[in-house]
Structure 1
């Protein structure tokens, strides 16, 4: 039987390290160190081992389920242990083409409780989703939790993390809120490419997007929420019920997660992305406060060229606002810049993205026609044919990159033959 054994949970002031061993053929999915860590800006030495075990279990349990394996640990919080079957069933409903099996063996299930002293914590990236949730719950004075999970075996300086952290801390000071800052290697200690190679076709999704990231991000926040006696951790939605998609962060999963006396709430799922743009611009255009929406999560600043930046820029324009007022440093020839960028990026757009995001932006721009300040953008974008433009861009890309593409395909075929 394949199994993962959590051998040690080592706590040193503000850091917890997890060391595990593997039986069977699961080692191919993990870096050779078999090590995960979390580092906080709080001393966590007083948190029970049963609570500190939650993040490790959360990160590996989807792999346990899809490989029909076992995870063995010494202690685990009862509330979290009891919610695992509901999470498994939620995943099973989402991914019907693969069977979720596997089991967890715990030496000691511990009942942890607390009387809540804080109503809310909010997972805060500074992005559009997170800002929408903040606006909706700001009267609860939430603890702002910001994470970076892309370190390797230990912490190394990251310009992106420094920028994220600075933005979150400044934001917290503006509103008189406390920041929890978390660093980890939860995004790298598992070899996602190896899991994808075997399971992405069965799942119809990638490991990180479909199964991993929601539990990883939420569970990293649980020890701090327990220590500070937080009643509810809010995670902002990424999707909408208008377009059902598979995703590791979904209300059917997130809302099932429990810990000690705490819970999770998947917020604003009823809103489309364009609805969220309206929430944010309505709030900030009507106040004296300013805000930078952080879209490029792996860049220090918004690039203003990628698909995610572009859809946010166009969304703001559709609401009658200036993207430069929301953290997008665009040149004076904004229409020319974003048209060039859109024509370059459209070849990568999926049908889902076009339906979920871009068509709704066009509809909103038509609906809000008289309030859009950039008339030159209206002239071409309002009737932009995504399907046609995507075909044209793909043809140009393939012609331009014909020889590199052929070389890559031949190389991959040869590598597979001798693997």
Structure 2
């Protein structure tokens, strides 16, 4: 019988680092590395009850347990969050046929009364989605919370990216008189994310964390911070919108059900398409922030490269909302429309259904927009006529990558741990060539 025990909960002497042991038994062991689960906060959390301190680990471990039919054991848990886990488990069960269930067992449940002070917080990166959510809730003066441990890993090689993000978010906050919260976690090192990817990649559109775990996981990481700082409303910006038919780990059905003592979470902006979110930002730029720069690049955190798919996509979106991309962080000229078309036609980027919806949204706006140059006209005409499903299919990962993943799904953990670095190095090499 598979089970996961979370124990050894502790807070460091300075009150900022939370750590606990995660001890899996049975088949679920393959999805854990044996490393303690840890989160470091930029303010003390020593006065937060253990039942709330357990939330970050539970939020990241429980989806793995549910997919493996494993029970989870913990000494103490916040009663409100325990009920939220039941709700989220039901949602994931309805989304994925591999979610088998599993129960949470706690020695104690608690119902603490935090000192809520009407604060709000927003998970923030400075991209389109989170910036739109800031604009929508700016009257609340939300705490801007940024997390290291997913797109920016705890690896020392990512120190520069993390410092760049902190500097950018801090500058954005300082200009608006806002507070910040910076969290660092090894959640995806305590979990064997590589094994989860290998095992479930063929059943989700994207990685394990993006497709299954990140809504609950990222919000749960914020629980001790939110409790300590009196946060009543915690917002996470929507990636998709109503009408996007994709299973995704962050969606209204999941995020709006996440809660703990004193705090409710909200999936924000789901009623707006990505292009409509850019419209919201464009209005804000015209009214109050003429020098605003966005950060969406897939390659760097100290600005936008202007050459990756996401940079091109954002630059075109800004243009369609009446903004000059070069004034808001994107080196882009009309001459680059031809390069963008060639890159998409030749499958230079690995695209998925996610990107298909994004470009379809842009195409809808293109139909309403009068081009202002010959290059833009050529691109608009091509995009209107393009078969986006064929473009996405042509840009899928090579067969060799899919075969390696398929083999790894059925390999013992000891074999996979040797094979995965090889697969990763092959993929990295091919990606460098494609750039």
What TM-score comes out, normalization by structure 1 length? 0.87
Pairs aligned (count) = 408
Question: 1:36 touches 1:153 (CA, 8 Å); kept in 2?
Answer: no
User: Matches of residues 393-412 of structure 1 in structure 2 within 5 Å?
Assistant: 394=394
Partner of 2:81: 80
Runs (5+) with no aligned partner, structure 2: 416-435
More displaced 10-residue stretch of structure 1: 130-139 or 178-187: 178-187
Task: Please give the secondary structure, in 1, of the residue aligned with 2:4.
Answer: strand
What is the deviation of 1:288?
Answer: 4.3
2-side partners of 1:153 and 1:3: how far apart?
27
Partner of 1:118: 118
2-side partners of 1:414 and 1:68: how far apart?
21
What is the deviation of 1:233?
Answer: 0.1
- Residue 328 to residue 70, structure 1, CA distance change in 2 (3 Å): same
Matched, 1:380 2:379: yes
2-side partners of 1:85 and 1:392: how far apart?
36
Question: 2:40 touches 2:185 (CA, 8 Å); kept in 1?
Answer: yes
- Residue 108 to residue 133, structure 1, CA distance change in 2 (3 Å): same
Task: Please give the secondary structure, in 2, of the residue aligned with 1:348.
Answer: coil
Partner of 2:425: none
- Residue 413 to residue 79, structure 1, CA distance change in 2 (3 Å): closer
Post-superposition Cα deviations, 1:71-98, rounded to whole Å, max 9, x if no partner, equal: 1111111110122111111111222x23
Partner of 1:168: 169
Task: Please give the secondary structure, in 2, of the residue aligned with 1:75.
Answer: strand
Runs (5+) with no aligned partner, structure 1: none
What is the deviation of 1:244?
Answer: 2.2
Partner of 2:139: 139
Partner of 1:232: 233
In the alignment, which of 21, 24, 37 is matched to residue 22 of structure 1? 24
What is the deviation of 1:116?
Answer: 2.4
Matched, 1:42 2:43: yes
Post-superposition Cα deviations, 1:19-62, rounded to whole Å, max 9, x if no partner, equal: 222222222111132x1111111111121111110000000101
Partner of 1:295: 296
Question: 2:23 touches 2:34 (CA, 8 Å); kept in 1?
Answer: no
Partner of 1:195: 196
2-side partners of 1:64 and 1:392: how far apart?
32
2-side partners of 1:363 and 1:58: how far apart?
37
Partner of 2:100: 100
What is the deviation of 1:197?
Answer: 3.1
What is the deviation of 1:17?
Answer: 1.2
Partner of 1:66: 67
Task: Please give the secondary structure, in 2, of the residue aligned with 1:187.
Answer: helix
Question: 1:318 touches 1:368 (CA, 8 Å); kept in 2?
Answer: yes
Partner of 2:419: none
What TM-score comes out, normalization by structure 2 length? 0.84
2-side partners of 1:42 and 1:238: how far apart?
29
Question: 1:241 touches 1:269 (CA, 8 Å); kept in 2?
Answer: yes
Question: 2:62 touches 2:72 (CA, 8 Å); kept in 1?
Answer: yes
CA-based RMSD of the aligned residues comes to: 3.2
Question: 1:98 touches 1:203 (CA, 8 Å); kept in 2?
Answer: no
Question: 1:347 touches 1:390 (CA, 8 Å); kept in 2?
Answer: no
Partner of 2:307: 305
- Residue 360 to residue 226, structure 1, CA distance change in 2 (3 Å): same
Task: Please give the secondary structure, in 1, of the residue aligned with 2:188.
Answer: coil
What is the deviation of 1:378?
Answer: 2.4
Question: 2:147 touches 2:182 (CA, 8 Å); kept in 1?
Answer: yes
Question: 1:310 touches 1:342 (CA, 8 Å); kept in 2?
Answer: no
Question: 1:255 touches 1:266 (CA, 8 Å); kept in 2?
Answer: yes
